[in-house]
Structure 1
Amino acid sequence: MTESERTPTPVDKIAEAWVDDVAELFPTIATYIGRDEYNDRYGDLSPAGADAAAARARARLDELRAATPVDAIDEVTKLDLAGQLELELETYEAGAHLRDLNVIASPAQDVRSAFDLMPTATSDDWEVIAKRLAALPGALDGYIQTLRAGIASGVVPARRQVTEVITQIARYSADDGFFATFVGESSPAEGQLPASLAGHLSDAADGARTAYDKLAEFLRSELAPVASEHDGVGRELYSLFSRQFLGATIDLDETYEWGLEELDRMIAEQQAVANEIKPGASVEEAIAFLEADPARRLHGTAALQEWMQSTADRAIADLGATHFDIPEPVRRIECMIAPTQEGGIYYTGPTDDFSRPGRMWWSVPEGVEDFDTWRELTTVYHEGVPGHHLQIAQAVYNRGELNAWRRLLAGTSGHAEGWALYAERLMEQLGYLDDPADRLGMLDGQRMRAARVVLDIGVHLGKPRPAGWAHLGDGGEKWDADFALEFMRHNVNMSDAFVQFEVNRYLGWPGQAPSYKVGQRIWEQLRDDYKAAQGDTFDIKQFHKRALDLGGVGLDTLRMALLPTGGR
């Protein structure tokens, strides 16, 4: 999108080739980044597909190791892509794909969610959708083969994840579930679908529902009886997942102790703000006071969507005039109500040409009709600007320096989510959370993220229950799922259904939840170290631009690029 583009180097060409590999091997990822040529299919989710992906990664890694960087941009690309490929191969060798089933980010959800980002404006678009729907049963058959191979080798997910996914599938395949509703509401802008296409879509949707029911039956009858009773994955596997989500190696035991300290700090800060809202009030009393204020409440998803959009647009206009250089294509974001009701708020990046803009999605659980603006203002900043949208869309825009891999695929949860939490605190520092109620909402989220650092590491490493919280639960000595649920209930102010989903997510997606707060910690350390190195010439606007222009990278790579002589 910039006027001049970088002449590709040998390292760039290898990275671009890996993007092509990923698009071909994983068409749902291609859909996510706007590569539409594979929208009519799925990748091979069988063991053979995993073998082929590993072979391709190994070949690209060999090419990359033999390539010589020609400049600093190449050095970052080589370091980060090599690290990612090595981790992917390490994860493959560990057999992680054989147990890849959880409540939020596994093929069980990815196969369905591919449709959320597919174009639907024309009959031709719906022809493509019909083809992918028709390919869905084969994709799930391959997935079942992989999970069966896991059973045969004793590599299985936790039973809790299996039973929860069965419940999710029931919502996908119901008569009023996703597939029936999605196809039933098909209506291109040009008018009615041709009768033959409408019939094809209906038949393919029925086939997709049947395929998901088949997956549910496999999970119920074959996988659940042999699934693990233990939610924790152990230190070795957890360390691998932690490195994947952060792009950095951390001391897990030190991080656990830091998480406990950070949680205490968040609780103290919340209490101070609660006293501002209502003198003498506890945090719970301040929240009850705010929840009773109709001026701080929205009713219905239409009102929520309108408020999200206006808030995001205002932040872009304000910050683009003062604290950030925001290119014109990045100034557009679409706020969406997700087509599912599973809970959660998330961001999807723009396509490479910005024909599909970045989008903020809100998956509203069934029955939830009211939303507290004081609680969610910081969420809009987290997902929009200066959070994920600025971060991810800025990388997509930076075609002048970054190859397609750096723009569209590189990065880790620690980089992305750490930046988004950093952005929340930045908005407080810039005065956008001066209202104590809005600040309490931000702290509510920060407290939750601190709590799950402790919970995630505690459960998966089987740590002793922290002394300050040992009164919760059944009096056991170590972290387990029941204690984790009680711990979260005491550290978030959300519906119990939300808390239960969140805890199940942490139990099934090891290492991801801590990457938010740990990533924030590393971003803040980097800013402080960069400021110390720059001395009187430090300019925070310049720091933000330089950091974001790198695109998504692992946090160890980010440190190397910003502080090539070291740092803390």
Structure 2
Amino acid sequence: SVPLDDFPLYQPFTAFPDNLAEAQRPRLAALGKEVLEEKVLPAFQQFKAFFADEYIPKASEEISASKRYPDGEAFYAYRIKRFTTTTLSAREIHDIGLREVARIRKRMDAIIEQTGFEGSFQEFVHFLRTDPRFYYTRPEDLLVGYRDICKRMDAELPKLFGKLPRAPYGVRAVPAFAAAQATTAYYNRPSADGTQPGWFYANTYDLKSRPKYEMEALSFHEAVPGHHLQIALQMELEDVPKFRTMASYTAFVEGWGLYAESLGKEVGFYRDPYSEFGALSYEMWRALRLVVDTGIHAFGWSRQQAIDFMLENSALTRKNVENEVDRYIAWPGQALAYKIGQMKIRELRTRAEEELGERFDLRAFHDLVLSAGAIPLDILTRRVENWIAQQKKS
């Protein structure tokens, strides 16, 4: 139950735009209050009661998509294909995930040793979670920190890209009414008519769960060179059907976001070991998804087995891990897209570097990857292969 004054849908009736006549405001406010109290809030309460009293009691206790649905194995294979835009099997993705977890864990252990910390992996994670030096105490300081990171990355973008979007972006706090349930950060694209910038929303609620050492990686993923740069460029594409400017393929969009996190290292970020550990923690999180999602939906893992595996290999809190695992159970295959997309972009870059040698131009490569907007990974592969062939001829 939410007091009407705190209900988001009531807020427009408490702060009218300047161009609305004063004489009309009391009538509209009263009408809005009446409709919300008599129709909207009761409908929300009925919806909540339906979930509590009817839906949840009848929901399946089987967590594996392969076992929960008729032709479940075929269903999960389709989900993999849909979200990754590849023909990889569950076994192939599971094994890729295990290799990536081992590789990233080795790098994380090396950084722990570099800091001089004496103790286990989990003891180091506990140290990071509890030492006050890693956390802001004022919301405005967190926002200033994010804005500083973004401003410094803005200055480095010409080293990485030949073409940048016209649309600006800003950093603002997640709205108070949503902060308690919202993720750490997210991005909203610019308006289609160009009147609104893109927004990187940072959550300032519960500051003790918003460590400084994750801020660089998070900024690069959500703002630039991640989601804002990629999505704004796509929205500004010319000579393509309108739907192409809005198309979204999770493997491409989130794969680019994760790849963008790694670009910080190439232009002078992650200078202290804790920030680098934070970046690796984010990459580990996405690698764990490959193992856990396929483990649950193809190989019979229990919820507890998935939770334990993630806790053993990540810096995520137990609550975050439980929420993540429940997400994978409810949304089979979606979480695979991030790491699979990132690895494909990195693989294509490595191939281009090896085949072109000194002729490889990183800025031109990035421009090519983003020049068609979000596309399936097999189409991206063909575009890069054609580009490599053209570069060899020139």
Give TM class, smaller chain.
0.7 to 0.9
C-alpha deviation, 1:494, in angstroms: 3.2
Distance 1:557 1:204, change over 3 A: farther
Unmatched 5+ residue regions in structure 1? 1-172, 464-477
Distance 1:402 1:204, change over 3 A: farther
Corresponding position of 1:202: 33
2:174 aligned to which of 337, 348, 357 = 337
Distance 1:494 1:536, change over 3 A: closer
C-alpha deviation, 1:411, in angstroms: 2.6
Q: Percent identity?
A: 26
Corresponding position of 1:179: 7
Corresponding position of 1:223: 55
Q: Equivalent residue of 1:359, what SS?
A: strand
TM-score w.r.t. length of structure 2 = 0.86
Please say if residues 180 and 205 of structure 1, whose CA atoms lie closer than 8 Å, have aligned partners that are also in contact: no
C-alpha deviation, 1:184, in angstroms: 7.4
TM-score w.r.t. length of structure 1 = 0.61
- Alignment of 1:454 onto 2:291: yes
Question: What does residue range 66-215 of structure 1 map to in structure 2 within 5 Å?
Answer: 173-175=1-3, 179=7, 182-183=10-11, 186-190=14-18, 194-206=25-37, 207-215=39-47
Please say if residues 320 and 326 of structure 1, whose CA atoms lie closer than 8 Å, have aligned partners that are also in contact: no
- Alignment of 1:392 onto 2:231: yes
C-alpha deviation, 1:237, in angstroms: 1.7
Corresponding position of 2:269: 432
Please say if residues 301 and 369 of structure 1, whose CA atoms lie closer than 8 Å, have aligned partners that are also in contact: no
Please say if residues 278 and 286 of structure 1, whose CA atoms lie closer than 8 Å, have aligned partners that are also in contact: no
Distance 1:545 1:236, change over 3 A: same
Q: Equivalent residue of 1:240, what SS?
A: helix
Corresponding position of 2:212: 373
Corresponding position of 1:306: 144
Question: What does residue range 479-490 of structure 1 map to in structure 2 within 5 Å?
Answer: 479-490=301-312
C-alpha deviation, 1:368, in angstroms: 4.9
- Alignment of 1:357 onto 2:357: no
Distance 1:189 1:270, change over 3 A: same
C-alpha deviation, 1:364, in angstroms: 5.8
Please say if residues 411 and 554 of structure 1, whose CA atoms lie closer than 8 Å, have aligned partners that are also in contact: no
The CA distance in 1 between the partners of 2:32 and 2:83, in whole Å, is 37
Distance 1:231 1:203, change over 3 A: farther
Deviation per CA, 1:27-61, whole angstroms, max 9, x where unpaired?
xxxxxxxxxxxxxxxxxxxxxxxxxxxxxxxxxxx
Question: What does residue range 272-311 of structure 1 map to in structure 2 within 5 Å?
Answer: 272-291=110-129, 293-311=131-149
Q: Which moved more, 1:384-393 or 1:354-363?
A: 354-363
- Alignment of 1:544 onto 2:366: yes
Deviation per CA, 1:309-331, whole angstroms, max 9, x where unpaired?
23223211x22342223546334
The CA distance in 2 between the partners of 1:291 and 1:479, in whole Å, is 29
Distance 1:201 1:245, change over 3 A: farther
Letter in 1 for 2:290: V
Deviation per CA, 1:50-75, whole angstroms, max 9, x where unpaired?
xxxxxxxxxxxxxxxxxxxxxxxxxx
1:522 aligned to which of 324, 327, 344 = 344
Letter in 2 for 1:508: A
C-alpha deviation, 1:566, in angstroms: 10
Corresponding position of 2:90: 252
Please say if residues 300 and 370 of structure 1, whose CA atoms lie closer than 8 Å, have aligned partners that are also in contact: no
Distance 1:261 1:541, change over 3 A: same
Q: Equivalent residue of 1:551, what SS?
A: coil
The CA distance in 1 between the partners of 2:57 and 2:124, in whole Å, is 46
Unmatched 5+ residue regions in structure 2? 67-72, 390-394
Please say if residues 382 and 423 of structure 1, whose CA atoms lie closer than 8 Å, have aligned partners that are also in contact: yes
C-alpha deviation, 1:536, in angstroms: 3.6
The CA distance in 2 between the partners of 1:328 and 1:394, in whole Å, is 5
Q: Equivalent residue of 2:113, what SS?
A: helix
Corresponding position of 1:423: 260
CA RMSD of aligned residues (A): 2.7
Corresponding position of 1:136: none
C-alpha deviation, 1:504, in angstroms: 1.4
C-alpha deviation, 1:451, in angstroms: 1.1
C-alpha deviation, 1:535, in angstroms: 4.3
Deviation per CA, 1:2-43, whole angstroms, max 9, x where unpaired?
xxxxxxxxxxxxxxxxxxxxxxxxxxxxxxxxxxxxxxxxxx
C-alpha deviation, 1:199, in angstroms: 2.0
C-alpha deviation, 1:284, in angstroms: 3.4
Corresponding position of 1:22: none
Distance 1:353 1:320, change over 3 A: farther
Please say if residues 452 and 514 of structure 1, whose CA atoms lie closer than 8 Å, have aligned partners that are also in contact: yes
Q: Equivalent residue of 2:186, what SS?
A: strand
Distance 1:282 1:431, change over 3 A: farther
Q: Equivalent residue of 1:298, what SS?
A: coil
